[in-house]
Structure 1
């Protein structure tokens, strides 16, 4: 443990150093002024800017009354630095003014002792301050480890998201912006052969670690489910069965997710889909009409059995489909009808994917804090046969 003594009186420094030495605190540094203390801590003035470097001081015994910069002002300056403000400061003072002592504590000091120094009292306060510092450092290190693990988990979660596809008749792209390190949205797509593609977008209830774990569970079974069952109704039924196998009866919170899964057959110009409580997808056709793929059943995971009414849409020529999660709607003020009309207006037009435009429109704007949510947009471009020879 490294202790810094700051006092403009050399005699006081000698007395305190000897007290510490007898208690086996031998890593002791001394400074005769606040400016000298700043040099020890790595604070200095350069071109009018204050700089700071990491400090290895664990405790400061700081005289309150010093010339130029007193102890209270020195405390205030230290509070400007993240790497210094957690160092415990014990004020050493001959002043018994309660207002001054309160001012010192408000400025950042953690405790105080009065002169003449009582050795027993001083050591008790030092041991308490160092014990609290150790506990705080332990929590900071633990929090940092958790943050590092969350970042790694976020990288793993991001790795399961499907990359873009640009086949002659079918393109699919996405933008995803989680509201936290880990999120509950998941998009995925799979070529199914013979010009067919399965595309799924889901939104898990809640945020953070719990939701992301459920999302990763679905991601782990998704490919096998889609490639085995293919049909939208069967895929959603199987995901519901798998999700309910987690046996969460004792949980106070009922977890579930909304999802939209569709199979695009580019040869037959046909789209089969199931919307399980998800915001309606928008299908912009070549003739200018806009179809909505509305909800046809309840979210996945609420009940053991699901009543599903799969839907089919036929199309001609080119077009594009926009799938999105609630977070995208929440970037628009108003009720759901207003939000939906806004999306229809802004997403119509060219069928080709324009990522910079979508970034600017939906992902560079901030939703109100109480409505912050994961944002995801999936864009499917359907090409006609003439595009194969372009």
Structure 2
């Protein structure tokens, strides 16, 4: 197991489809007070509390087999001494291997629940007994110090999560027929923007850029969930319309029309065929990409449908443009277009017609930095592509 996973600040294990533990990291072993030899090869029931065993079989197993993913399921484990450990479980079924496995991430919830309960008790005491106010205030100060310690630990965990999120971004592709440059800057520790580049065959390239509503932990978790899905689908070479339909269905399944947790996502997906000299695209509520030919003529790849996750039953019909003599593409999120306005992006691209891709990227970054006199409030991401 990778050393990063072994020491990650959360439990990690893999299961067979029958629920047999295949691997388990040190963090989870320490939490459960077992060693690896005592658990590997055993059924997951060996570490579940009694109540969780029934719940796992009735809900987790059917859900992971049907949906291939489980999001934020609350369960309790049992350590070697039989003590319950509440955890938040996220899991995914990996069918790409010869023997499919279930990958599980387990985040312990015990300390967080304890601190929140203590703060609620302290607040009630303060409201009900003014005579004990000083004592309660002192108690609150103690708890705040504890929360500062927890917050510092959380910040460290967020930094690790940010690093994992950034490493999931695919590398820009450069071949004889195509060249790419990217810019990615989160407004906080974690971002709601994500992109991917995939060479589907000798002549075709799939490029996707998504922006989940908001930013921070919730948006980043959704982006990683979408990343896992589109990475698998684009690698199979499915059509642009079917890809967008699958992503849209995934968001609807995640939130089940619940307004309290509902998130939508803008997205643009392009299939570039360097042999046929075509660009097929679907734009789901995303800022319009810009295509500029060698003569400086520009064309906006405008929105064709509402954002993903808004309405069920949307038909994602692709549009197509031709680029016989090559040209330049600019894709971006609203964190780039809002401070500069789309008109400025069109102007920058035209002014940089004779510049290299890296020089054009530097010009856009300088323009953003010149406009960012206030604190950056949104994630910023753009992609430049030269077609030869």
Shorter-chain TM-score range: 0.5 to 0.7
Q: Does 1:249 align with 2:253?
A: no
**Structure 1 segments unaligned to the other structure (5+ residues):** 1-123, 333-338, 384-390
Partner of 1:174, secondary structure, is: strand
Q: Does 1:352 align with 2:356?
A: yes
Counterparts of 1:154 and 1:350, CA distance in 2: 36
- For these two proteins, the number of residue pairs brought into alignment is 253
Q: Which residue of 2 aligns with 1:362?
A: 368
Partner of 2:257, secondary structure, is: coil
CA deviations 1:333-352 (Å, max 9, x no partner) are xxxxxx22211111221363
Q: Does 1:224 align with 2:232?
A: yes
Counterparts of 1:125 and 1:286, CA distance in 2: 73
Distance 1:133 1:260, change over 3 A: same
Q: How does 1:1-390 map to 2 (within 5 A)?
A: 131-332=139-340, 339-348=341-350, 349-350=353-354, 352-354=356-358, 355-363=361-369, 365-366=371-372, 368-369=374-375, 372-383=377-388
Offset at residue 208 of structure 1 (A):
1.0
Offset at residue 142 of structure 1 (A):
0.7
Partner of 2:254, secondary structure, is: coil
Distance 1:264 1:367, change over 3 A: farther
- Indicate conservation of the 8 Å contact 1:195/1:267, yes or no: yes
- Indicate conservation of the 8 Å contact 2:255/2:262, yes or no: no
Offset at residue 135 of structure 1 (A):
2.1
Counterparts of 2:135 and 2:259, CA distance in 1: 43
**Structure 2 segments unaligned to the other structure (5+ residues):** 1-131
Partner of 1:254, secondary structure, is: coil
- Indicate conservation of the 8 Å contact 2:285/2:306, yes or no: yes
Offset at residue 164 of structure 1 (A):
1.6
Pick which of 268-277 and 223-232 moved more.
Answer: 223-232
Counterparts of 1:361 and 1:374, CA distance in 2: 16
Partner of 1:246, secondary structure, is: helix
Partner of 1:361, secondary structure, is: helix
Offset at residue 259 of structure 1 (A):
0.4
Partner of 2:154, secondary structure, is: helix
Decide which structure has the larger Cα Rg and report it: 1
Q: Which residue of 1 aligns with 2:10?
A: none
Counterparts of 1:128 and 1:221, CA distance in 2: 49
Offset at residue 136 of structure 1 (A):
2.6
Distance 1:125 1:274, change over 3 A: closer
- Indicate conservation of the 8 Å contact 2:200/2:237, yes or no: no
Counterparts of 1:130 and 1:368, CA distance in 2: 37
Offset at residue 127 of structure 1 (A):
7.9
Counterparts of 1:205 and 1:308, CA distance in 2: 20
RMSD: 2.2
Counterparts of 1:364 and 1:163, CA distance in 2: 27
Counterparts of 1:263 and 1:192, CA distance in 2: 9
Partner of 2:211, secondary structure, is: strand
CA deviations 1:187-216 (Å, max 9, x no partner) are 111001121100000110111111111111
Distance 1:265 1:365, change over 3 A: same
Counterparts of 1:257 and 1:313, CA distance in 2: 24
Distance 1:326 1:228, change over 3 A: same
